Structure 1
């Protein structure tokens, strides 16, 4: 199975999720959602950068699964996630994110960024304000 996303927790509490460009399948998308939830296993405050620079467009079914995941994990996110930064240079992928958020609101502060540097500045600011 080709991974849909790679999750890097090496700089915890900053987590980076980089989409690989692989087409979403039931198998890799379910694995991505499970790995995403696993980021909260420490029950500690964190911030996440979603790097969608290479993201492929998920199917409508997978968009709905992502929205359901947000709804199901809202409390977990509100308790531990201080913010999410999205690196989305593609207008098409930004549109998909808006569709997902129209199905289920993003429960934590977020910023849509054009590049990884902008995302790192925003998320580090969110973390430093809330972890100080």
Structure 2
């Protein structure tokens, strides 16, 4: 099965989720959601960078699944996620993110950036501020 996203925890508490550009199906999309939730298994503060540079537009059912995931994991995110940076260079994907958040608002601070450097700078500052 081709991965929908690659999750890299090697720089924890910074977690990087990179969308591969592979077409989503119910199986690989569900796996992506499960792996994202697994990032919280340590029950320690973290910050996320979602790199959607190669992301395609997920189906409506997958958008809805993402919204449901946000609703179901709201408390987990509030307790452990300091913030999320999204790297989204295209306007279509930025619009899609707004649509997903219309199903369920993200309960933590987030920012949308066009470049990796901007996202990393924001997350680095966020981690430094929260670790003082």
Residues 1:50 and 2:50 are matched in the alignment: yes
**Residue of structure 2 equivalent to 1:114:** 114
**Residue of structure 1 equivalent to 2:7:** 7
TM-score relative to the length of structure 1: 0.99
Partners of 1:120 and 1:88 in 2: how far apart? 13
**Residue of structure 1 equivalent to 2:96:** 96
Instruction: Tell me how far 1:39 sits from its aligned partner.
Output: 0.2
Partners of 2:107 and 2:127 in 1: how far apart? 16
Residues 73-110 of structure 1: CA deviation (Å, up to 9, x unaligned): 00000000000000000111111100000110011000
**SS of residue in 2 equivalent to 1:42:** coil
Instruction: Tell me how far 1:131 sits from its aligned partner.
Output: 1.5
RMSD: 0.4
**SS of residue in 2 equivalent to 1:95:** helix
In structure 2, the gaps of 5 or more residues are none
Residues 1:70 and 2:65 are matched in the alignment: no
**Residue of structure 1 equivalent to 2:31:** 31
In structure 1, the gaps of 5 or more residues are none
**SS of residue in 1 equivalent to 2:16:** strand
Residues 1:59 and 2:49 are matched in the alignment: no
Residues 21-62 of structure 1: CA deviation (Å, up to 9, x unaligned): 011100000000000000000000000000000001100000
Q: Alignment length, in residue pairs? A: 132
**Residue of structure 2 equivalent to 1:82:** 82
Partners of 2:123 and 2:108 in 1: how far apart? 12
